[in-house]
Structure 1
Amino acid sequence: MSFKDLQLINPLLKAIEEQGYTIPTLVQQKTIPLVLAKKDVITSAQTGTGKTAAFALPILQLLFEKQDAPKGGKKIKALIVSPTRELALQIGNNFKAYGRHTNLRATVIFGGTSIEPQIDVLTKGVDILVATPGRLIDLHKQEMVDLSHVEILVLDEADLMLDMGFIDDVKHIESLCPKQKQILLFSATMPFKVEQLANTILTQPERIEVAQTSSAAKTVGQILYYVPKRNKIELCLHLLRNEIKGSILIFRRTKFGVDKLEQTLIKNGYQVETLHGDKSQTDRQTALKKFKSGMVNILIVTDVAARGIDINELDAVINFDLPNIPETYVHRIGRTGRAGNSGMSYSFCSADEKNYVQTIQQLIQVQIPVEEQHPYPLDPKAKAIVHKPKQSGSKHKKGRKSQASKKKKKRWY
């Protein structure tokens, strides 16, 4: 099947060709015709399956006939809500690339950066708005965003949006748009919360499921290392010296963990960049640019910061901390071995993470091979370290007087 078979118009076909794409991915083949038919759609597909184009192309086509501004200027006809700034920027870039032979105008708004330039663009009028929930609601309160003309609402990475606590924001945004509209919901996984949200706001949606999210990429080799928590950094350095080469993405659970590992690797002479929620937008973009251009070959990230970043040509993923949600593991390792390339994933498991390995293996239906020949093996009997809560206050009993002093009833006062 070609993009032409999907009944796309020439200005879009030309832009797709210029981007170097020839054959639509499975998610595009299934989603585009339904969006063009103006149906509500729920698509369950992982990052890296080409889902942005699956909604961007048909939206551009549906708005193409109305692309010339009426007297009052352009109105927001399509709204795409995205959980993170990186993802929003990426979606915005896709709209610009695919819509370059149309007169449709798209812009991106997100927090963590100056609001004035975003207001300027909105005042001039746009057809397509890509936004993160917080900044969108801020601008709506300031009456800088008018959602009363929205015809198509897209909720991208819905599962992540709900994980990040945006459920009330999403419902509020949906209520600010007209009742009659087309809604497209994209989610990598379909937990109960996403199903509930879909049931409350979508009308008789068509469902599309592409490649069960549980199937770990076939082109990714997986290795598991059992290692004491305190030795994880040494094991990481050992593998970087002897085994893992090329462009490497390292996942840590916390921002603190990301920073700590970055300092150690830099001390050991590695070229490293990091991504996490506390970084400014400029720092994030600089870090991504350096990694994509090959100026640095190691990028250390948290799951939330990494979600939706488009990085091709990855050689390896290191799960420095194992995720407690098994689907997250599938996402992480799926970032390497894309588009038919092969890649490797290395996972470090300490005593307190053994349960995570079990749930991951149940989900992917694969026994992950264990590498026992390494300098920092974990004692098979090792138990998870339980940190006792600190006792508050003094270790001495209440009342500082000794028994003897209490007996001496006579006081000098």
Structure 2
Amino acid sequence: MDVKAVRDEFPILHQDVNGYPLVYLDSSATSQKPRQVIDAVDAYYRENNANVHRGVHTLSMRATDQYEGAREKVRQFINASSTAEVIFTRGTTTSLNTIAYSYAWPNLQAGDEIVITEMEHHSNLIPWQQAAKATGAALKYIPMQSDGTLTLEDVRETVTEHTKIVAISHVSNVLGTINPVKEMAHIAHQNGAIIVVDGAQGAPHMNVDVQDLDCDFYTFSGHKMLGPTGIGVLYGKQALLENMEPVEFGGEMIDVVDFYDSTWKELPWKFEGGTPVIAGAIGLGAAIDFLNNVGMNAIMEHEQNLVNYALKKLRTIDDISIYGPEERTALVTFNLNVHPHDLATVLDAEGIAVRAGHHCAQPLMKWLNSPATARASFYLYNTEEEVDRLVEGLLHTKEFFGDVI
């Protein structure tokens, strides 16, 4: 992969921040956008701006073709069996809440179990807390190993015949842990449960084949994979989606409306009430084109080389604590003996953008026995030179705080 050529496609990376060349190491929060995506969104608003599905005029038909064309790109990207299984949402959070409200609430009852882990992002935790409270189901946690991984033995012991839903992150946004989704799906199905996968940190960085994983639901966000904000995907097996009710009602998702009753449009549109995020979907389609052109295998290889280099370099720093397993995706979460917010502020003064805080994973912070951490996350446009800048910045941070560390 020609990283320089890739970087040239991202206008935002070619700027100075606080007098230093920008080093953007916060892609797990949101990725930067290539010119191809920016141009696709711009072209829609300049040339084809119209509502979809509702008009027979030229602009509406163009917009509809682009919007549904993006759905087909998503279908191919995750290898869904049909575009009926690809629902556009506002993002991973909306997708997970839709599953909780539309599937979990009607199907759970007292005595049932929802199984999750302590590494979950709040978006894949709070909806299940609320579903458990509403239905009387029990929330159970698969125990984690000391390095932040799961064992299939623990999964088998936690998932029982009473388990109805297993909800798991494909990749931890804090630890970088890659969970064994395919094997967990098999265990869930053996016990008569379904499996929901939070793929927000998975889809941007690795090949995802929902049929091979045999997951029942898979969710992800466009903005973490080079696309615009405000657009996400809910994949679900068609048989499950057919039996679920919409959670938003209004225009676009209806078939027939009478004074006292209404019927819904077929999949996927029954879950897309109102005017959808048309430009966002088109932008996501352009982002998928960009990722496919670079090649997901090439991206994965580049990221693995980069995170291994980062781990090696960071471990040369005294007093650093690094969290997560050796085998991980392209992020490193760590702490020095100074508050992560102070650390991030000093790094920002040198043009280096990292994340600091609880990363929307407060239960995991309790498990780590740390109120907050710093996180450097990498993507296809990052380089070893930027890792070196990070290490230099951390050494400067130690010098700045002196005896505090």
Q: TM-score range by the shorter chain?
A: 0.3 to 0.5
Q: Which has the larger radius of gyration?
A: 1
What is the TM-score of this pair, normalised by structure 2?
Answer: 0.36
What is the TM-score of this pair, normalised by structure 1?
Answer: 0.35
Q: Bigger relative contact order, structure 1 or 2, given CA contacts below 8 A and separation 6+? A: 2
